[in-house]
Amino acid sequence: MAGANGSLPALGLPLPEYAIALDWLAVQCAHDTVETGVLASDARLASEFLRRTATSQPFDPAKGQGRAVLILPSATQVEAVIASPTPPATLLIVTAGALYRFISSTPMLRARTCLGMTKRQGYRQSAPILHLHGEISVLWSIAYRVYSRMGRDDLAGRSVVRTRESYLGRWLGTLALITLQKDV
């Protein structure tokens, strides 16, 4: 639901330079209309992106100023932002879910093209991801065993979740980036 000037509903507020889109529909939408974009495989990578891009504009939560990104969790919002007079210079598309669904439900050619935006943007995160692939999952699974023996069911439960997330996000992210390395 775009506002009268095509911006997000909270009218009159300047849009940030960076935006994050979720949902594969949003990915498609962004792919068709934004010149530059970044595809991240999971939230941890997105957070890393925040750190790097926000260095020139530090985020100050106490003052609520310097917010460098706006996360857009629906295709409607992405469309509204893109249609605005001052769309974000960069759109960050994030989550394992978005990546998984995009790759599995659309022709690979489109996925590669979308991923290609990553390289044009100069966003080089593939090496750390490849390096860390699997290791974090193993560490979390060890943590699960340690916490279970300690009787810390709360932390053990978190470790299981982190293990699962690490496996899924890193594995899919790595596959996507390998594709990117070969293709672009």
Q: Where on the chain is the footprint of another protein (CB under 8 A)? A: 1, 3-4, 8-10, 13-16, 20, 22-23, 43-44, 46-47, 50-51, 54, 58-61, 64, 67, 69-77, 80, 94-98, 100-101, 154-155, 157-159, 161-162, 165
Spell out the alpha helix ranges (H) of 10-152: 24-33, 43-53, 75-82, 96-105, 108-120, 126-132, 135-150
The nearest distance, CB 151 to another protein, in angstroms, is: 11
**Closer residue to another protein in complex, CB, 6/183:** 6
Q: How far is 117 from 128, CA to CA, in rounded Å?
A: 19
Closer residue to another protein, CB minimum distance, 15 or 183: 15
Tokens 């997000």 -> residue:
8
If the CB atoms of residues 97 and 116 are measured against another protein, the closer one turns out to be 97
* Helix then strand then coil, % of the chain, to nearest 5: 60, 10, 35
CB of 38 to another protein, least distance (A): 12
Neighbours of 115 (CB within 10 A): 24
In the complex, minimum distance from the CB of residue 42 to another protein, in angstroms, rounded to a whole number = 8
Q: How far is the CB of 182 from another protein (least distance, A)?
A: 26
Q: What's the gap between Cα 47 and its chain centre? A: 8
